[in-house]
Amino acid sequence: MIKKIRDCLSDIKDPDLKEHYSQLVFTLLEKGYFPGLAGVPVAKSGISHIDGEKGILTYRGYPVQELAEHCSYEDVAFLLLNGDLPLRNEKNILQKQFLVHRDVDRDIAKAVIAMPEELHPMYMLSASVLQLQANDNLCFTVDNYNQNLFRAIRLVAKLPTIIGISRTRDAEFAADKEFDSYAQYCLYCFNQDLADDEEWVDIFEKLLILHADHTMNNSTFSVRAVGSSKASIYASVASAINSLSGPLHGGANERVLKMLQEIGSPDKVESYIGSVLAKGEKIMGIGHRVYKTYDPRALFTKNKILPRIFAEDNPLDIDDELGDLYKTAQKMERVVLDVLSGKKLYPNVDFWSGLVMKALGIEPHYFTTVFVLGRIMGWSAHWVEHMEVKNRIFRPNQLYDGFNDRHILVEPEEEIASTD
């Protein structure tokens, strides 16, 4: 067997792949399992690709920066779902579909309003996505590609509405309003004042595109794992939203802003980082399972989006508090690069995005729902793709380290009777 493994490894020509599989074999032999499934391929997919050493992310072969620079949300959604960028009329149709299908049923709107205001928006959202199933009584019929695509489009369309209703506590918050694009509608759901300003809509749209897909991350894995049981798109996406809420995943964006506020000013950054590291804790917005260099989305946000917001001569209205948070983040980035880049720890997508969302007037506890509006493109594409593959239910194994056989001690009946 060992010889067979050695032969298989020596047959691999690509040196990176060879190193990767050798590492997997080593981990399995050393530990007996794969902690965090690190590096373990669980599916084949043509949707996105990452080169973590070089800091490259592509959607269907296109670099994410080019898509963010030149494309609309509709272009990228079409690309992820269908495999190619749309022709003009295909894009127009998708844009219309997103806007036409945005309304949610009155009962669902009522249910959203009835949820406690203290409920975190991510859990409000996952609970509401499950309710969308009520309008799709064929949801367990998942083998029709066109029907699945249509389901995905309807779901993408309705997410911002749920968020808008939850924020405003008003089912009619966008009634009779016309929108030019999905991104504009989404921004309206968070901030009605900025949604008429093309500059802010463009910034918001770029943020959504940067978040659209990211290979087999924790939430996309959830979509695939739940979907592999042939559960509905609603069940799969609800589980992905729950996964994304975690502080080690998308929930980090909300916490980065809190962290910057807690630090208070650039001169306190070093002592903050020192004390977090001394306690063995993680710095939010830093580190990544796959990137061993600067995350390209974080770089794009830092170099292409934030300067538009914070430029000295910019026409955008930014308050002093936000300007100070930006300076603290800039200092933090410098210190992190100094202290942690040796360990290949760099800012990830969540490090800078909160500053953009704050500038967009979005409340921090809603930050991760913005991430959802981007990532829903990828989740839906993965769900649709998964329904097309020769599926095997996800069912990994475990290393059992519990008790050996134990048995219930049953006392003989006479003894029980005599003690009564």
Ligand X SMILES: O=C([O-])CC(=O)C(=O)O
Contacting positions for ligand ACO (CB under 6 A):
36, 248-250, 252, 282-289, 343, 345, 348-350
Per CB under 6 A, 349 contacts ligand X: yes
Answer with the entry of ligand X, ligand ACO, none that 284 interacts with (C-beta below 5 to 8 A by kind): ligand ACO
3-state secondary structure the chain: CHHHHHHHHHHCCCHHHHHHHHHHHHHHHHHCCCHHHCCCCCCCCCCEEEECCCCEEEECCEEHHHHHHHCCHHHHHHHHHHCCCCCHHHHHHHHHHHHHCCCCCHHHHHHHHHCCCCCCHHHHHHHHHHHHHHHCCCCCCCCCHHHHHHHHHHHHHHHHHHHHHHHHCCCCCCCCCCCCCHHHHHHHHHCCCHHHCHHHHHHHHHHHHHCCCCCCCHHHHHHHHHHCCCCCHHHHHHHHHHHHCCCCCCCHHHHHHHHHHHHCCHHHHHHHHHHHHHCCCCCCCECCCCCCCCCHHHHHHHHHHHHHHHCCCCCCCCCHHHHHHHHHHHHHHHHHHHHHHHHCCCECHHHHHHHHHHHCCCCHHHHHHHHHHHHHHHHHHHHHHHHHCCCCCCCCCCCCCCCCCCCCCCCCHHHHHHHC
The option from ligand ACO, ligand X, none interacting with 254 (CB < 5 to 8 A, set by class) reads none
Min. distance of Cβ 403 from ligand ACO in angstroms? Answer: 29
Judged by beta carbon distances under 5 to 8 A according to partner kind, the member of ligand ACO, ligand X, none in contact with residue 374 is none
Nearer to ligand X, 55 or 86 (CB): 55
Closer CB to ligand ACO, 127 or 339, in the complex: 339
The reply to whether 407 belongs to the active site is no
From 288, 295, 382, 386, the catalytic residue: 288
- Give the shortest CB-370-to-ligand ACO separation in angstroms: 12
Out of 206, 214, 331, 358, the residue judged to bind ligand X by CB under 6 A: 214
**288 catalytically annotated:** yes
Instruction: Pick between residue 50 and residue 269 the one whose CB is nearest to ligand X.
Output: 50
Nearest residue (CB) to ligand ACO, 282 versus 304: 282
In the list ligand X, ligand ACO, none, the entry touching 290 (Cβ below 5 to 8 angstroms by class) is ligand X
- Selection from ligand X, ligand ACO, none that 36 binds (CB < 5 to 8 A by kind) is ligand ACO
Q: Which residues are catalytic?
A: 288, 350
Instruction: Give the binding site for ligand X (CB under 6 A).
Output: 214, 217, 289-290, 348-349
